[in-house]
């Protein structure tokens, strides 16, 4: 059993793989849904459009496979950036009327960031602090107000505050990390966030 990165045609997979290897772990990238059977931990990366990502997951059989092999048996799952947003119920991205359905692992909606002052820009690119509302194991050794690296135009708004792990003060404030049971999501890029980012990846891979 080894950690696995899902390759569904979206995201910079090699940067995540390299970061995991710097943490001292072996990890494999796979576009084969049957490999979920031998995965000890699963990472769902992603950059780009929510709709394109969900279409790719559906067309390649990942939606059913994740539900049957990962969610059902509570295999640790980490969504990164767009991967975190895909955990939501729906997204308003690029839609005038009907919302796009997500994986619906954590109830909530993905919404567009809206600047609140002239200094704020969308997409939100760069280092920003996270303030913790709770501390699941993957954040156990991370100090409050630690900076992480972000690149995004949308944010995940969970229905319940109990699923919010951290928030970030930008565009009026948004949820920057979530958790529910064995499911975790981070809006920032831990693989691009220096030592603290690597600590989060290490903590995730040490979940039993």
Question: What are the residue numbers of the active site?
Answer: 81, 189, 191
Beta strands 124-132 and 146-152: pairing type? antiparallel
In the chain, what are the helix, strand and coil shares in percent, each to the nearest 5?
A: 30, 30, 40
Is residue 58 helix, strand or coil? helix
Confirm if 75 and 182 have CB atoms less than 8 A apart. yes
End-to-end Cα distance, the chain: 12
3-state secondary structure of 93: coil
């Amino acid at each position: 059993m080894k950690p696995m990165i899902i390759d569904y045609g979206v995201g910079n997979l090699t940067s995540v793989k390299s970061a995991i290897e710097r943490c001292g772990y072996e990890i494999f990238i796979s576009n084969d849904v049957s490999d979920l059977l031998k995965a000890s931990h699963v990472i769902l990366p992603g950059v780009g459009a929510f709709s394109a990502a969900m279409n790719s997951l559906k067309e390649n059989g990942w939606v059913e496979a994740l539900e049957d092999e990962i969610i059902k048996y509570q295999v640790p799952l980490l969504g990164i950036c767009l991967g975190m947003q895909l955990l939501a119920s729906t997204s308003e991205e690029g839609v005038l009327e009907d919302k796009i359905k997500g994986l619906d692992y954590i109830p909530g909606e993905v919404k567009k960031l809206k600047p609140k002052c002239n200094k704020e820009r969308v997409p939100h690119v760069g280092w920003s602090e996270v303030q913790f509302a709770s501390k699941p194991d993957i954040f156990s050794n991370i100090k409050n107000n630690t900076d992480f690296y972000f690149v995004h135009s949308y944010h995940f708004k969970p229905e319940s505050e109990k699923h919010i792990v951290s928030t970030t003060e930008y565009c009026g404030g948004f949820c920057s990390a979530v958790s529910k049971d064995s499911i975790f999501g981070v809006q920032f890029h831990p693989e691009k966030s220096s030592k603290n980012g690597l600590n989060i990846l290490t903590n995730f891979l040490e979940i039993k």
